[in-house]
Structure 1
Amino acid sequence: MRDVSPGRAGGLAATLTVPGRLDVELTAGPGDVVAVVGPNGAGKTTLVQALAGLQPAAGEQWLAGADLTGVPPQERHVGVVFQDQRLFPNLSALENVAFGPRARGVAAGASRAVARDWLDRLGVGGLAGRRPGELSGGQAQRVAIARALAADPALLLLDEPFTGLDVGVAAALRVELAGHLAGYRGVTVLVTHDAIDALTLATTVAVLDGGRLMQVGPPSEVAARPRTEHVARLVGLNVIRDGDRFRAFTPSAVAVSLHEPDGSARNRWSGTIRSAAPHGGAVRLQVHAGHDLIADVTPAATRELGLAPGRRVWLSVKETAITAY
C-alpha cells in the first residue's frame, strides 16, 4: 500500500464507479457511522462489495492514509458483516473470530485470546466451542460481528446486520452494537432499511438511489428534510418534489374521504389504498395517488369508511400543514 498526503489520512475517501450500477463519492472521518439507505436495487450491496474489494470498481479509495487501488480484499484492513453471516462452517465460533487476527500475523494463542474477549463482549462467550450450524440466527450474527471487529479494522462494513432476526433479538443486538461503535475509532458503513438504525446508530445518513447519492447529512437533517420518497416514508413523512423545491407534511395532517373534498384544502389527490396497518393508536394507510403517500386515521374512521387495500379514496392537506424547502 502506498502512503498518502496528510490531508487524506485518517478516514475514508472513496470515488467508486461500477458501470450501470454505482457512481458515488463518499467521505467519512474516524469514528463516523455512515448509514446507507435506499430502495431495493439502489446499489447498497454493490457499494459494500466495492469498498471491501469484492466488486471491481473504477476510481479511488483511500482508507486511514492508505491507497487501496488494486489492493486485494484480504489486505484491505476491512471488516465485513453480511446479512447471511458467512461464517466458516467447519470452524468453531472461537476459531471463526480468531481468523482475522491470525490473518494479520498475530500468534495463535493471542488471536484466540482476542477472539474470546470479543465473544464475551457480545454475550456469546459460552458458545465459543460451537460451530455455526449449532447457533441461532442471533447468536451467529453476534459471532459474525465479533469476527469483523476482532481484526481491529480501519473500516467496518455492516450489510443489513439485523435482517431476518427476531424483533427482540434485533433490538438487543442494536443496543450492543451501538455501545461498541461509540468507542470504535475506525469508519463504519451501515447498510440498513430501518429508520431506527439510521436515526440512532449513525452520525451521517447517505441516501442511495439508482446507484447515486441523492442526499448526505446528519440524521436529524435528512429526517426533517428528506429528498427522496423512500426516505420520506422511512422516517414517516410525505414529501412531494416540485422542481427544485420539496413540500413535506406529516401523515396525521392528511384527511381521508371517499368523495372529492369541497373544502378549502388546495392540495388533494385521488388514489388507491395499498395497505392499512396499525401504527401506534392510529391506522396507517399507504395510498398510491400519483405519489406514494401515507395517512394516519383513527380505527373508528377506518371501520366507518371501509378503508382497506383496493379502496379508492381522496386525500387532502391544508396548505398551512405543509413545509416547503
Structure 2
Amino acid sequence: MSGLRARLHVPGRLDAEVLAETGDVLAVVGPNGAGKTTLLRSIAGLLPGSGDVEVAGRSWTHPPLLPRDRRVGYVVQGQALFPHLSARENVAFGLRARGAPAREARARAEAELERLGVGHLAGRRPGALSGGQAQRVAIARALATDPDVLLLDEPFAGLDVGVAAALRTELARHLADFAGVALLVTHDAVDALTLGTRMLVLQDGRVAQSGTPVEVAARPRTDHVARLVGLNVLRDGESLMAFRPSAVVLAPSEPVGSARLRWRGRVEQLTPHGDEIRVQVLTPDGVRVLADVTAAAAAELRLAPDVALWAAAKETAVTRYPAAPAPRGPVQSG
C-alpha cells in the first residue's frame, strides 16, 4: 500500500484500524475521550507496543522504529515550541536532529516560514509571537522534514475566529500539495468538511464510521457527528432518521394535520445560532431534538428552560437509512 495502514491497540483506550492513501487528509472526529490523540501518538511511536503501523509499504513497528526515526511531522495542541529558540531554530530543529548541516537546515526553515507567511518573524522567540503566528511556526516545523505522515492535533484550537479562518485557508493550500498522508484531529465541522478528503469517526476508542466527508455528514451514525454537522439523528428501530433543525416546528400543544413525527418534551437549552435561536428539546425518554426558530417565534412561544412543548417534523423532511452495527462496547483494559 502506498499510504498508511495501521492496526492500533492501547488497552483501555483504543482499538482501531486506519487506512489512508497517499494524498488523503483523514479528518478524525469524535467526542472527548474517544481516542483521537491516542491514535496520533500511537502512529508517531510515542506509545510503544500500541499496534502495527505500515507507511508506504514499510513497517514502522516490525522492528519498531523510535519516534525520531519515523518520518512524521506532528503539530500538537498548544504548539509546544521551544521557548529558548527563535522561530527559525524551532523549524530547523528536526532537520538538525536528522543530521542536516546547520546552514542547510536554517535555509529550509526560512523557506518554510516564508511559505506560511511568517518569514519576517524568523528571528523572534515564541514568547514574542501571537497565537496564530506561533501555530504557523509549528506547522512549518512539522512540514520542514518532508514527513510521510503529517499529524495535526486540533491545529486551530484556542485561536480567534478570524485567525483560525486565515490559517485554515493557508493550511488547505499546503495540504493540497502534500505528498504524504495527513491526519487532522478536529472538533470543528468546518475543518472536517473543508480540509478532509476522508473522515474517521471514533467513539469509545473504536471506529464508529468512516467515509468521505459528504457521506458521513449526510448519514451520521453517532450523536457527536450529528451535532457536529448540525443534524438531528434519531434511532427508529433498525434505522436512523436524519433531519435539519430548521425542519422542526415547535408548538405549545400537539400538532395535528399532515403526517408528522412528534415529540413531547421540555426546553433543555437555548443558544444563539446565527440570526436564529437553537432550541434543544428533551423528551421524557431522553431523546434530544434540535429546532431553529426566529427570535419572534421564541418570544411568542415564551421559550425558556423547562417550558413544556411539542416538537414536530414532516415526514418528507426526514432521511431514513439503516443503522450500522454499533461498535463493540467500550475498549476494556487487560
Query: In 1, distance between residues paired with 2:303 and 2:162?
Result: 31
Q: 1:304: how far off?
A: 1.2
Identify the residue that residue 47 of structure 2 maps to in structure 1: 55
Report the more deviating stretch, 80-89 or 289-298.
Answer: 289-298
Pair 1:126 & 2:126 matched? no
Specify every segment of 5 or more residues in structure 2 that has no aligned partner in the other structure, as ranges: 322-334
8 A contact 1:18–1:56 mirrored in 2: no
Query: In 2, distance between residues paired with 1:189 and 1:300?
Result: 43
Report the more deviating stretch, 156-165 or 60-69.
Answer: 60-69
Pair 1:34 & 2:30 matched? no
Match of 2:255 among 233, 257, 261: 261
Query: In 2, distance between residues paired with 1:257 and 1:44?
Result: 40
Match of 2:208 among 200, 208, 214: 214
Identify the residue that residue 77 of structure 1 maps to in structure 2: 71
Query: In 2, distance between residues paired with 1:192 and 1:176?
Result: 17
Q: Which SS does the other structure have where 2:210 is aligned? A: strand
TM-score of the two chains, using structure 1 as the length reference = 0.94
8 A contact 1:94–1:112 mirrored in 2: yes
Query: In 2, distance between residues paired with 1:244 and 1:214?
Result: 16
Identify the residue that residue 291 of structure 2 maps to in structure 1: 295
Instruction: Give the total of aligned pairs.
Output: 317
Report the more deviating stretch, 50-59 or 38-47.
Answer: 50-59
8 A contact 1:233–1:294 mirrored in 2: no
Identify the residue that residue 326 of structure 2 maps to in structure 1: none
Query: In 2, distance between residues paired with 1:323 and 1:32?
Result: 29
Identify the residue that residue 308 of structure 1 maps to in structure 2: 304
Q: 1:294: how far off?
A: 1.2
Identify the residue that residue 266 of structure 2 maps to in structure 1: 272
* Aligned-pair identity (%): 63
Identify the residue that residue 18 of structure 1 maps to in structure 2: 10
Deviations 1:263-312 (A, max 9, x none): 44542223333332332332212233322321111211111112233433
Query: In 1, distance between residues paired with 2:115 and 2:178?
Result: 14
Identify the residue that residue 314 of structure 2 maps to in structure 1: 318
8 A contact 2:42–2:50 mirrored in 1: no
The letter for the 2-side match of 1:321 is A
Q: 1:20: how far off?
A: 1.5
8 A contact 1:154–1:186 mirrored in 2: yes
Identify the residue that residue 5 of structure 1 maps to in structure 2: none
Query: In 2, distance between residues paired with 1:275 and 1:110?
Result: 56
Identify the residue that residue 240 of structure 1 maps to in structure 2: 234
Q: Which SS does the other structure have where 1:119 is aligned? A: helix
Match of 1:143 among 120, 137, 142: 137
Q: 1:203: how far off?
A: 0.3
Report the more deviating stretch, 280-289 or 205-214.
Answer: 280-289
8 A contact 1:35–1:206 mirrored in 2: yes
Over the aligned positions, Cα root-mean-square deviation in angstroms equals: 1.4
Identify the residue that residue 44 of structure 1 maps to in structure 2: 36
Query: In 1, distance between residues paired with 2:310 and 2:122?
Result: 58
Report the more deviating stretch, 109-118 or 303-312.
Answer: 303-312
Pair 1:197 & 2:224 matched? no
Q: 1:55: how far off?
A: 2.1
Report the more deviating stretch, 230-239 or 278-287.
Answer: 278-287
Query: In 2, distance between residues paired with 1:67 and 1:84?
Result: 30
Q: Which SS does the other structure have where 1:148 is aligned? A: helix
TM-score of the two chains, using structure 2 as the length reference = 0.91
Pair 1:156 & 2:150 matched? yes
Deviations 1:158-177 (A, max 9, x none): 00010100000000000000
Identify the residue that residue 110 of structure 1 maps to in structure 2: 104
Q: Which SS does the other structure have where 2:117 is aligned? A: coil
Q: Closer, same or farther in 2 for the Cα pair 1:140/1:209, shift >3 Å?
A: same
Query: In 2, distance between residues paired with 1:103 and 1:80?
Result: 15
The letter for the 2-side match of 1:161 is P
Query: In 2, distance between residues paired with 1:306 and 1:177?
Result: 45
Match of 1:231 among 222, 225, 233: 225
Query: In 2, distance between residues paired with 1:309 and 1:71?
Result: 55
Report the more deviating stretch, 299-308 or 31-40.
Answer: 299-308
Query: In 2, distance between residues paired with 1:155 and 1:251?
Result: 38
Identify the residue that residue 4 of structure 1 maps to in structure 2: none
